[in-house]
Amino acid sequence: MKAEPLFAKKDAVRNKTKDETLRYFLLDYIGRQARPVGAWRLKEELGAIGVSCSSATIGRILSELDAAGITVNHGRRGRALTDAGLAWVAQHKRRLDDDKARDTIFNMVKTNSFMELLDMLKTRRMLETEAAHSAAHRSSLHQQEVIRQALAAHKQAVETGADPTSTALAFHQAVAAASCNKALDATISLILLEEDKLEARFPRLNTREKGPDYAPEHQAIYQAICGRRHQEAANLMYQHINRLIETVDEQRRTGQLLWEEESHALSDH
């Protein structure tokens, strides 16, 4: 029976060394075969998916896996996985699935239009309202101190006339982390990262000019969290992000919201 392709998730493996990637390729394939697999077959399968690898490199990696107790050498018949090898592959498959899930969320939050920016802010409103509620319940004193430091950095940016966008987003990130909810924190982090990149493309964004208004709102949210007033913290966060939405929507409706490329085109005329 023809063996299935060596590795169907090739594109999911990123930011790993060549040896680490090859190690997973090899073990994933060996683990899916009913019989031991020889080095020549592994090299053949690597070539079939466009991965060039010498027999010496494959042999070295297999020897390292033998020594680690992950594979067992059956001589001319090739290698098979040990119980430790099966566990290793299962663990790394879960990690790959986690990477794919993060990629899916990241692609979902990538924004390319004004309406999508508003959708992003509305999603933030929902998630960060819950994050503030949870932070008031569950945050540690250390997490509250991180929020206070982010709050102080935002205030300083406002007072010195610097662009407050990054420091404002850092405040929201600190609240998300203080929620002690990994799913909320991870999702909000991805959205804030994309929003930070997106907002940099707008030469004029009215939310930047409203830093003096937003700083006291941040302060009130922080105080509610520290005071364990969870419903108040949630309400304040909802109202705060709602004002962001109203500001951006008003700028969009009045035609003042311009992309960087559009702004440059206008300035050239």
Q: What is the pLDDT of residues 201-252, one digit of tens each?
A: 666 666 777 878 899 999 999 999 999 999 999 999 999 999 999 988 888 7
Is the Cβ–Cβ distance between 150 and 170 less than 8 Å?
yes
Instruction: Quote the CA–CA distance of 204 and 200 in Å, as a whole number.
Output: 9
Instruction: Quote the CA–CA distance of 235 and 244 in Å, as a whole number.
Output: 15
Q: What is the pLDDT of residues 79-129, one digit of tens each?
A: 999 988 888 888 777 776 666 555 555 554 455 566 777 888 999 999 999
Instruction: Quote the CA–CA distance of 78 and 54 in Å, as a whole number.
Output: 17
Residue 262 has pLDDT above 50, yes or no: no
State the fold for domain 110-258. Four Helix Bundle (Hemerythrin (Met), subunit A) (1.20.120)
Is the Cβ–Cβ distance between 171 and 147 less than 8 Å?
yes
- pLDDT above 90 coverage of the chain, percent: 39
Residue 267 has pLDDT above 60, yes or no: no
Residue range 10-102 in CATH 1.10.10.10: yes
Tokens of 241: 């992000």
Instruction: Give the containing element (helix H, strand E) for 14.
Output: none
Instruction: Quote the CA–CA distance of 151 and 65 in Å, as a whole number.
Output: 50
Instruction: Quote the CA–CA distance of 144 and 177 in Å, as a whole number.
Output: 10
Is the Cβ–Cβ distance between 233 and 133 less than 8 Å?
yes
Instruction: Quote the CA–CA distance of 22 and 38 in Å, as a whole number.
Output: 15
| Annotated domain spans of the chain | 10-102, 110-258
Cβ atoms < 10 Å from Cβ of 182 = 9
**Which comes out higher in pLDDT, residue 263 or 215?**
215
- 150, amino acid identity: A
CA distances in angstroms from 150 to 122, 145, 166, 215, 226, listed in the order given = 23, 9, 10, 11, 14
* Closest to 199 in 3D by CA, of 266, 116, 268: 116
pLDDT at 156: 92
CA distances in angstroms from 117 to 112, 169, 186, 222, listed in the order given = 8, 15, 19, 26
Beta bridge partners of 71: 81
Is the Cβ–Cβ distance between 79 and 99 less than 8 Å?
no
Cβ atoms < 10 Å from Cβ of 3 = 14
Instruction: Quote the CA–CA distance of 231 and 57 in Å, as a whole number.
Output: 60
Strand, helix or coil at 143? helix
Q: Name, of 108-112, 180-184, 195-199, the range with top average pLDDT.
A: 180-184
